[in-house]
């Protein structure tokens, strides 16, 4: 099904420029004003007045803040609990250990942080009404006694990184959007997502991922990237930023200066990017330049070494040449620079937890995300100011940016939401239709031997993922196909392989779900055994499409780039006859190495 473009709410750079809404507030600020005016062009005097009111707010707030309050604004932390004043013993114990306070409300009252980030493992995101009430409780604590409202943030890239589950609409994610080639769909999805997240009291999303995934071995980016093509990533990144920010949800392009060509996960180690400066300009820079061109609210730094950009080998998060010399001075970025999580090993391998926050601020960062020990980090920054390693003027510069963004996103007016409307605001008809449309247009047929489209009355779904295979069985059942599942996992042993072969004997078709297949993966053995047994077989990669390089050259292969319910429903429809429309957004090299391409970007068969 095709859904109509949301032209009444969707805006492009061209639209804004033509509207006369772009003044001193910048493109993203103009987008908000334009949207709030119902698309009526605003005169320059209106923009000037808005700018002056914002400047006055920032000046007055900054003047009223102590140094301790200013330094608190530089930090974003997580807090355990379903409510701001939780008294759950486990949450209280975790908060005491991490924050030195029983719950978020007590911590906020004492320490005045700049923001809180939600996680499911921190018990923050049980259901829409609970999330909205938690958000309100946090803001009540923050704004008491004329305090500064909080950034309430989440990592909701969708696809493989989605902290808030159903009934919030689960969009397929970045690489499926790249497979559609439709930047308008990317913008619409971001706007619909922004509306839903905003209804829960969220005002900042750490998305989109602006990395160009040119390394098939990348363990941390992969399908979080739109494409291996810099221009495609640039177009999709700017589209999503505009979509989010037109809903007043702050967006964040990540991970500067580019995390797409690494085989090390910065959560557990320190990656090194070996691109030359010229290669950085050609490959990594375009999405960030596009983000800056549409006035992205935030850009997140990466914990990686990039010798061509800083020969000292400091991680980019701690590198003045990268954050200030390159991002601020050369690219002209004036928004908020936020670090990636300071709990990650990529930034902790060489420096202590008390050193990293100070070094990040010296490098040019404004917002310090998730220090392992907040009080240690805060006290280190205060001590650095006292010792002259940081000046209060330097602190003020970051606080000004943070306060200015909070004003621009409407937090200083009314940061509260209606919890009673939270459930009806998520999983909307428009959101679900958009997710289904993206999924339908992203499923890509890489190989076919005539097996597809299938006419099977009975299907065995086997391979990776208990939830994934069960959802795919449900998708087949909705099409009237008798389907059963046998999960073999990501490393099936011989017993699991034998069981799958036996289960396939009385089935018309076998669908083998693959995920992160490498040269030594026993998933290859599963596919080979099923193929040898003679069952009509289709493989479906629900992560990266690079799996296909390791599978039989004559076996039908599909790629969904996602294991969301929408993507699996589309996969079943494609197998049973709906024509595949997706085109590869990345090059897929052969198993022998990256120098020989098996499937070029843009490849995609049809029926």
Contact 363, 398 (CB under 8 A): no
CB atoms near residue 140 (< 10 Å): 17
Indicate which residue of 261, 297, 310, 340 is catalytic: 340
Residue 229 to residues 115, 299, 449, 592, Cα–Cα distance (Å): 34, 20, 29, 22
- Residue 172 tokens read as 């397929």
3-state secondary structure of 596: strand
* pLDDT tops 50 at residue 413: yes
Distance, CA of 558 to CA of 445 (rounded, Å): 5
- Per-residue pLDDT band for 135 (boundaries 50, 70, 90) equals very high
- Which are the contacts of 139, defined by CB distance < 8 A and separation ≥ 6? 149, 150, 152, 201, 415, 416
- Region 539-546: mean pLDDT is 98
Please state which of the ranges 346-360, 474-488, 493-507 shows the lowest mean pLDDT: 346-360
Which CATH number does 443-599 carry?
3.40.50.1700
- Per-residue pLDDT band for 265 (boundaries 50, 70, 90) equals confident
Residue 451 to residues 205, 470, 561, 584, 607, Cα–Cα distance (Å): 42, 23, 21, 21, 11
93-106: per-residue pLDDT in tens?
A: 999 999 999 999 99
Strand partners, 597: 589
Entry pTM: 0.92
Identify which of 215, 356, 226 has the alpha carbon closest to the alpha carbon of residue 273.
215
- Per-residue pLDDT band for 350 (boundaries 50, 70, 90) equals confident
Catalytic residue list contains 145: no
* pLDDT tops 50 at residue 77: yes
Residue 5 to residues 183, 232, 587, Cα–Cα distance (Å): 11, 20, 29
Is 13-112+120-429 assigned to CATH 3.20.20.300? yes
Share of the chain above pLDDT 90, in %: 88
Domain 13-112+120-429 and domain 443-599, same fold? Reply is no
- Residue 189 tokens read as 């999805």
426-446: per-residue pLDDT in tens?
A: 999 999 999 999 999 999 999
Contact 467, 478 (CB under 8 A): no
* pLDDT tops 50 at residue 37: no
Domain boundaries, the chain: 13-112+120-429, 443-599
Place of tokens 């200066």: 257
**What is the per-residue burial (b if ≥16 Cβ within 10 Å, else e) of 301-331?**
bbbbbbeebbeeebbbbbbbbbbbbbbbeeb
């Amino acid at each position: 099904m095709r859904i109509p473009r949301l032209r009444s709410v969707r805006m492009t750079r061209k639209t804004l420029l033509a509207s006369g809404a772009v003044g001193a507030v910048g493109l993203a600020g103009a987008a908000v004003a334009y949207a709030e005016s119902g698309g009526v062009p605003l005169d320059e005097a209106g923009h000037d007045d808005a700018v002056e009111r914002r400047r006055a707010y920032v000046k007055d707030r900054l003047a009223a803040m102590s140094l301790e309050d200013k330094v608190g604004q530089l930090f974003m932390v997580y807090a355990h609990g379903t409510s701001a004043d939780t008294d759950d013993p486990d949450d209280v114990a975790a908060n005491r250990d991490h924050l030195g306070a029983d719950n978020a409300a007590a911590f906020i009252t004492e320490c005045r942080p700049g923001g809180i980030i939600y996680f499911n493992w921190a018990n923050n995101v049980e259901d829409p009404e609970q999330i909205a009430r938690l958000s309100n409780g946090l803001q009540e604590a923050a704004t008491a006694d004329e305090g500064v409202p909080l950034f309430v943030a989440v990592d909701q890239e969708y696809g493989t990184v989605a902290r808030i589950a159903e009934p919030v609409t689960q969009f397929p994610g970045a690489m499926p959007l790249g497979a559609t080639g439709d930047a308008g769909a990317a913008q619409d999805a971001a706007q619909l997502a922004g509306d839903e997240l905003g209804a829960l009291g969220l005002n900042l999303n750490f998305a989109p991922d602006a990395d160009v995934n040119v390394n098939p071995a990348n363990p941390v980016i992969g399908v979080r990237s739109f494409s291996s093509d810099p221009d495609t990533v640039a177009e999709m990144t700017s589209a999503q930023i505009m979509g989010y920010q037109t809903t007043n949800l702050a967006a964040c392009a990540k991970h500067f200066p580019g995390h797409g060509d690494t085989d090390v996960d910065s959560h557990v180690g320190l990656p090194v990017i070996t691109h030359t400066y010229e290669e950085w300009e050609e490959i990594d820079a375009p999405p960030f330049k596009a983000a800056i061109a549409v006035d992205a609210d935030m850009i997140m730094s990466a914990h990686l070494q990039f010798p061509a950009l800083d020969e000292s080998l400091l991680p980019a998060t701690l590198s003045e040449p990268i954050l200030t010399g390159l991002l601020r001075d050369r690219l002209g970025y004036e928004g908020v620079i936020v670090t990636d999580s300071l709990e990650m090993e990529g930034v902790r391998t060489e420096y202590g937890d008390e050193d990293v926050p100070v070094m990040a601020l010296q490098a040019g960062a404004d917002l310090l995300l998730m220090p392992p020990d907040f009080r240690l980090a805060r006290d280190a920054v205060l001590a650095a100011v006292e010792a002259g390693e940081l000046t209060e003027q330097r602190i003020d510069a970051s606080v000004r940016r943070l306060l200015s963004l909070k004003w621009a996103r409407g937090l200083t007016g009314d940061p509260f939401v209606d919890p009673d409307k939270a459930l009806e605001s998520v999983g909307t008809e428009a959101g679900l239709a958009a997710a289904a449309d993206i999924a339908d247009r992203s499923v890509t047929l890489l190989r076919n031997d005539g097996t597809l489209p299938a006419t099977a009355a009975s299907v065995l779904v086997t391979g990776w993922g208990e939830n994934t295979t069960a959802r795919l069985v449900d998708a087949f059942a909705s099409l009237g196909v008798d389907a059963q599942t046998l999960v073999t996992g990501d490393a099936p042993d011989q017993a699991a392989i034998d069981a799958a072969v036996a289960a396939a004997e009385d089935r018309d078709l076998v669908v083998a779900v693959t995920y992160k297949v490498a040269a030594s993966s026993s998933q290859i053995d599963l596919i080979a055994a099923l193929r040898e047994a003679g069952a009509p077989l289709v493989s479906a990669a629900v992560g990266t499409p690079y799996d296909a390089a390791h599978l039989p050259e004559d076996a039908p292969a599909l790629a969904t780039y996602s294991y969301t319910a929408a993507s699996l429903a589309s996969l079943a429809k494609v197998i049973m006859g709906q024509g595949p429309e997706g085109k590869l957004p990345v090059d897929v090299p052969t198993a022998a190495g990256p120098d020989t391409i098996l499937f070029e970007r843009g490849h995609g068969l049809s029926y």
